[in-house]
Amino acid sequence: MAGSRDTRVPDGTYFFTLALEPGAELSLVDQIEALRRAYAATVTERPFETQAIVVLPDHLHAVWTLPPGDSEHVQRWRLIKSRFLREAGITSRRRSPARGPWQRPVWMHRIRDGPEFRRHRSYCWMDPVRHGLTGMAEDWPHSSIHRELARGRVLRGFHEDPDLFRHGTPEGPPGQGMGAGPHPAAPHTSL
């Protein structure tokens, strides 16, 4: 349930941000079906569990749990990115077909416990509100919050618990967290 205080989280749970290059003439939400197909094909080929995801016009956030003993998130993102470009009919002039319009690096953070998991999940779902795209998290169509609402794990009218973010965004003080630009001190993975 949304208010549970379980502090355990499976090993291999990560938060990711994948963004388009500034000025990319592409919108992820306009190509959402291509992204869904690329994502589904990758999950089928290299399984993982999506704990939370949100897709905005120029970036997405996701929380994944990989199978025990598996840490190959890099290859999964490469597959998603290159499949998306093919599905959307986008040709890349860059040497790496997986790079295309994607900004580097994919930002990655390993989630260590339940409170950190809840902060990152909330960050995903509330990002469209923070960007002024919608007034409520559940009104954004490209979010896993709908799955959780349908399962009764989250209540309608979901909002961030102010205690989750009293120190700014999940990874730092105000202006230093996700969505605030580069994260020079943060662990990341280049794709």
Task: Answer yes or no: is pLDDT of 29 > 70.
Answer: yes
Predicted local confidence at residue 91, as pLDDT: 74
Task: Answer yes or no: is pLDDT of 165 > 50.
Answer: no
Neighbours of 107 (CB within 10 A): 22
pTM: 0.77
Residue 8: pLDDT band by 50, 70, 90 thresholds?
A: low
User: Under 8 Å CB-to-CB from 131, ≥6 apart: which residues?
Assistant: 56
Q: Are 77 and 96 in contact (CB under 8 A)?
A: no
Taken in order 83, 85, 91, 93, the sign of the CA dihedral is negative
DSSP 58: S
Residue 59: pLDDT band by 50, 70, 90 thresholds?
A: very high
Task: Answer yes or no: is pLDDT of 190 > 60.
Answer: no
Who has greater pLDDT, 5 or 135? 135
Strand, coil or helix: what is 52? strand
In 56-183, beta strands by DSSP E: 59-65, 106-110
Q: What is the mean pLDDT of the chain?
A: 79
Q: Residue 16 belongs to what H/E stretch?
A: strand 13-19
CA triple 70-74-78, angle to 5 deg: 130
ω into 105 cis (within 30 of 0): yes
- Tokens 């605030």 correspond to what residue? 180
Indicate the pairing of strand 106-110 with strand 188-189: antiparallel
Neighbours of 170 (CB within 10 A): 20
